[in-house]
Structure 1
Amino acid sequence: MKLWTIHPVEVWEWLQQQGFYRGAKELVYEDFLDSYDWLIIEMEKRLGPRPEKESYPVWAWKQWNGVHIRPDLRFSGFLEKGTRGVRLEIDIPDEQVVLSDFDKWHYVLNYWYLEENEEDGELFDKEIKKRGLDYYQQKPLPDPYYHQKIVDSWQRIFDIEPRNEEEKRSLSIQAIFWELKLEQVRKVDFFVAR
């Protein structure tokens, strides 16, 4: 599977020296650790165990912003402004990759309920409000049933089929895997983040 991963240039240097690169916990914002722990469990279900107990996901793009296949380095937000970076075109075996919807991943990061459709979302919000719960203010919800409903809803991030033309035009598909090997790199583009 052809993918693109973006990193500070130091990751490219590490990859050349060590021959492999793995994600690390210290690269994750503390507020997102619970979300990453959930994601790691999902990855282990789909890909098998981590190479090491400390391994965290390596992120890449399968499709960026709908019409673009690879990320356009003229846009900002890939790295902190002014950072020297690399966009690596890589080839990872399909069975070593989990794909998910970039926008839906934000529901996991924010501890939001990921509705199946508008009606489902309205019904869930009405149910929890009746019980005096608010997942925007209470993280995690103190009611185990509704907490689990939120967590279960996150399975929808793995549904990467657009539901309509609007989604198709804007869909960004992210890829996660345990390890990037030097021999999987096909092309290297250097840039300075905007």
Structure 2
Amino acid sequence: MTKDRGRERQEEKETGQKKTVRLYTRQNDKTLYQLERDGRIINQRIYVELHFGDIAPLFLDSYDWFTRKASAIVEKPEDVQAPIWCSISRENCLRPVPGTVVYVLEVPEEQVIYFDDEKWDYVLNRIYLPKDKEDQEKYKQHLKELGVVNGFEFFQGRYKGMYPEEERRIQESWNRIFDIDRWSVFNVCGNIWEIRREWVLRIVHPGEDVL
């Protein structure tokens, strides 16, 4: 992962020998009961399904892929089935709306899975994620040589099952979401596997400012 001065500007502090980072995440307000009861909040696959509703099947494979890859970066607790999406800045975090709250967290950096949210769109759309513009042009030429018109249809469309090697090539390209070429509060996310009670600095309700 690329580190630069942009990362140094991220809100962080030293706590003993552990560096911590400030994260922000909007969650359903029912998680307040989970936090009170269990001392932690975790995500389950069913919550992703409920969140996306009818279009959930289009995204679940991508979320399952992310979960597998992210667990190789930060070990996943056995009872967790999906990560918790977080913003690294209050400027870019989702504001609380009715039925939700925003958790302001101070999390040990070793627990954070950083990735490029702009690159994540390629995973959601299940298309090839190029390294750079040159690689993108080479891939376009590669599709022409295959006789493929639409690179969106390898996993769900006219080419499904026809090009298994191409499917593997695309999936391998998705690993680049963890390579952060440009560090900013607008494209970098920091996911975690759980919210622990001791990490919660503040709970922001609708109508309150995220400070």
Name the TM-score class by shorter chain. 0.7 to 0.9
Give the structure-1-normalised TM-score.
Answer: 0.80
**1:46 to 2:73 alignment:** yes
Q: Aligned partner of 2:188: which letter?
A: I
Asked if 1 retains the 8 angstrom alpha-carbon contact of 2:154 and 2:163, the reply is no
- TM-fit CA distance, 1:72: 5.8
Asked if 2 retains the 8 angstrom alpha-carbon contact of 1:9 and 1:84, the reply is yes
SS at match of 2:155: coil
Q: Aligned partner of 1:60: which letter?
A: C
Structure 1 gap segments, 5+ residues each: none
Q: Which of 143, 150, 157 matches 2:177?
A: 157
Q: Aligned partner of 1:132: which letter?
A: G
CA distance in 1, matches of 2:147, 2:77: 39
CA distance in 2, matches of 1:156, 1:91: 27
Q: Which of 27, 31, 54 matches 1:7?
A: 27
Other-structure match for 1:114: 129
- After superposition, give the CA deviation of every residue in 1:60-102 in whole Å (9 maximum; x if it has no partner): 11147xxx3x5262xxxx7xxx633211110121111101111
After TM superposition, list the pairs within 5 Å mapping 1:26-175 onto structure 2: 26-28=46-48, 29-52=56-79, 55-63=81-89, 68=91, 71=93, 73=95, 83-133=98-148, 134-139=150-155, 142-162=162-182, 168=184, 171-175=186-190
CA distance in 1, matches of 2:205, 2:171: 38
Asked if 1 retains the 8 angstrom alpha-carbon contact of 2:85 and 2:189, the reply is yes
- After superposition, give the CA deviation of every residue in 1:13-70 in whole Å (9 maximum; x if it has no partner): 3212221111111122221111112111111211124322x52111111147xxx3x5
SS at match of 1:88: strand
Q: Aligned partner of 1:94: which letter?
A: E
CA distance in 2, matches of 1:180, 1:51: 15
- Identity rate, percent: 26
CA distance in 1, matches of 2:27, 2:125: 24
CA distance in 2, matches of 1:138, 1:72: 33
CA distance in 2, matches of 1:49, 1:17: 21
- After superposition, give the CA deviation of every residue in 1:156-182 in whole Å (9 maximum; x if it has no partner): 2112231xxxx85x7322122211111
| Structure having greater relative contact order (Cα 8 Å, sep ≥ 6) | 1
**1:16 to 2:36 alignment:** yes
Q: Which of 176, 179, 195 matches 1:180?
A: 195
**Paired positions, count:** 175
